[in-house]
Structure 1
């Protein structure tokens, strides 16, 4: 169990506003945890498997294949396996970040993240091998969560080396592209993404359960959509590449393949029952739980996701300005914003991630304003290449860094926020959560003392 799920300390809001912000994150994550959500939505009722509002009569099948990939792969798989029991013979592949003592019949693999490596290519091979043995008597359960894109991967064309594909992923991470465009590119160069893993399962019936780390309503982007028909096109791929200079030059083999690149599957074969998909948790879940908590604490709450997928600096300026415009001296205010911001990295980056980058920019903008507190955290418990999930700042953060002999402006420009926040004691360090439903940004404007 992730460390923060055991934390119950409560920091009084007025006495410790930064502590309250961290407490809020802890409580939100308690309420959106994966096992609880699976228990509510994945249930065996007699011979029927209920997934959300959909039902699968298991008497129509001879076997179940389980595919679970992503940061939440283990808790999702654990519940599915426990629920199914011995209802039907069960075989599967689970690909996650850590090791897991899987039961008989289930192959547990560690995937690489955020750049696919040898483990990721082994995982894709095992997944394709399993899917190719599926038939009309098979029900395939796809449990997909954020991080799946990197954890299992295989080039679509034999001319593309695994090294080229990994190098391309690395450039994607530093390109500043939003997750939607990033995954459009990943889908079209992959042998398992964009519905191709489902296509490999032929006439099997498919049930997909998703924990979404993408904007709401875009389910085929989660994990680059291995089990769902794809809505993006080759034309989009070419346009995105042309508009993103940081991705140039594309590896030569990939550039040649692009000239004859096939479309991803736009439709997929159906099995004995219609295939279904269910979004179990998303960034909306973060907001819903946070609203209840901060409203109870006496804050006037405003939800503003306008800056989702914006550049981190633009998003920081927008939300701080919104907080200033909406604040009333006698009523504490809370701005909630979910989603992700982007960071375009040129040259060598330090330690940090998009949440800490946003937080440090906000610290600069609210410098000297004692009633402001802001926090940005990743629901997966990991921010970029740092061990923290994010950071919490207030109107004194920038000056505290200067007084401690640090250069916050340099840390901002060199994408090296983590060492600064660690030295100040302002990182949020819950550890990996086993979940991934994007980021939560919060700005509090408290009453002046």
Structure 2
């Protein structure tokens, strides 16, 4: 075993993990790939550029650069602090800022601005809708009769209950005046082209940011069933709205959505493939386990740790000198007081506990948007001596996992990966290096 690990030490392993992660983020950079998906600028009619999500500012800049002579109006919504470091002095597409993952009044006001910007257009006009992960919270606009305070409470419950993203967004769409195809309906009869960066398993456009320009196949009845299934404690006003079911979301075949088109410019699988290519350049054999690994974060980490142990011990499904790559959005069910945690670090701590100090195995779990949960880190790195170093500091790794304090533990170890906002988002990636 030692001979097969020759040449690998902690510094080299950490550098390799960071290099692979950065390759995945670059593959999802809108400045690199968005222009190729743009149509020819319309010869007649207006161009209205609107959008929501963690990549919105960069996506808007990519449009500006590709169409320097085309008159553009509109606005995009992104997270506070996620604008470009050096924005152009005369931004043609204004950027509004809102809160994520808990909505705020700025996001609601900006969402209303977007709806106003796309109303009253003609058939010769073009709406470019730029969408990426995080858009659901950023554009939370209550349906008639609901308050923003009620939707903030709904969002907190969605984050607590451990429901998968498609279930969360089904409920959001049926409490919203913005998502679930309503932006495209408001823009009718204009042509609507959606350019999307996917952060969801399966790249379902109806789930990305709750699909503001996409027909919604889900129903009020499904939203009520999901609330019951996950035992959600929703505000009374929200439950009354779901039960009344007065105005369904636009469904497939709705004539108001006939002039819509969607192009996917970046996906989790694209990022994983870019990471695999970078692994080969490092002389490592990549194995992509999938882009849609979901479930409770600690359980996903335990499974990945078991696969890594099999690889290190038995050479199956890969041998040493390999990396396991995966993506997808895990969930964290908060069932009591919580420390400083996040999906990525909770997955990673579950993985480290499963490995139990196995030699020659390092791992990185990070969110490609640069923010894991509500922390200031993208994620963290686990090493063969993570558990030993934590215990030497008086930290109990199992207690940290039980108390959702994984980020706090990795912070104490100095093993957080801090990138700042990357201005893109193809969800979580996990890299396990078997050296």
Per the normalisation by structure 1, the TM-score is 0.88
Tell me if 1:23 matches 2:10.
no
Aligned match of 2:33: 37
Which stretch has the larger CA shift, 28-37 or 436-445?
A: 28-37
Deviation at 1:218, TM superposition (A): 0.6
For residue 285 of structure 1, the aligned residue among 251, 270, 277 is: 270
Tell me by how many angstroms 1:27 deviates.
Answer: 3.0
The equivalent residue for 1:3 is none
Partner in structure 2 of residue 210 of structure 1 = 196
Aligned to 1:73: 56
Per the alignment, residue 64 of structure 1 pairs with: 47
Matched-pair contact (CA < 8 Å) for 2:50–2:127: yes
* Shift of residue 82, structure 1, vs aligned partner: 2.7
Q: Structure 1: where are the runs of 5+ without partners?
A: 1-11, 50-57
In structure 2, what is the Cα distance between the partners aligned to 1:302 and 1:27?
A: 16
- Spell out structure 1 runs of 4+ moving beyond 3 A: 12-15, 98-107, 267-271, 326-331
TM-fit CA distance, 1:275: 2.4
Kept in 2, the 8 Å contact 1:380–1:435? The answer is yes
Q: Does 1:254 align with 2:243?
A: no
1:341 aligns with 2:327: no
Give the one of 297, 309, 319 matched to 1:324: 309
One of 275, 285, 288 as aligned partner of 1:300: 285
Give the secondary-structure state (helix, strand or coil) at the position aligned to 2:431: strand
Q: For the residues of structure 2 that align with 1:82 and 1:263, how far apart are their CA atoms?
A: 38
Residue 359 of structure 1 corresponds to 348
Structure 1 residues 84 and 368: alpha-carbon distance in aligned structure 2, compared to 1, 3 A threshold: closer
Structure 1 position 403 matched with structure 2 position 388: no
Could you tell me whether the CA contact under 8 Å between 2:341 and 2:373 is conserved in 1? yes
Equivalent-residue separation in structure 2 for 1:38 and 1:133 (angstroms): 27
> Hey, what does 1:426 align to over in structure 2?
415
Write the distance in 1 (CA, Å) between the matches of 2:340 and 2:423. Answer: 22
Q: Verify: 1:93 aligned to 2:78, yes or no.
A: no
Q: CA deviation at 1:106?
A: 3.6
Cα separation, 1, equivalents of 2:107 and 2:404: 27
SS of structure 2 residue aligned to 1:288: helix
Please provide the CA RMSD for this pair: 2.1
TM-aligned CA deviation for residue 235 of structure 1: 2.4
Deviation at 1:105, TM superposition (A): 5.9
Match of 1:110 in 2: 97
**What corresponds to 1:264 in structure 2?**
249
Tell me the residue number matched to 1:368.
357
**Pair 397,154 (structure 1): closer, same or farther in 2 beyond 3 Å:** same
1:309 aligns to 2:291 (yes or no): no
Conservation of the 8 A alpha-carbon contact between 2:202 and 2:292: no
Between the two proteins, the alignment pairs up a number of residues equal to 417
8 Å Cα contact 1:401/1:408 also seen in 2: yes
**Equivalent residue number for residue 82 of structure 1:** 65
Using the alignment, how far apart are the partners of 1:134 and 1:112 within structure 2?
29
Residue matched to 1:9 = none
CA distance in structure 2 between the partners assigned to 1:31 and 1:256 by the alignment:
44
Question: Contact 1:142/1:208 (CA < 8 Å) preserved in 2?
Answer: yes
Distance in 2 (CA, whole Å) between partners of 1:306 and 1:71 is 20
- Structure 2, unaligned stretches of length 5 or more? 1-6
Residue 427 of structure 2: which of 428, 434, 438 is its match?
438
Aligned mates of 1:168, 1:274 — CA distance in 2? 33
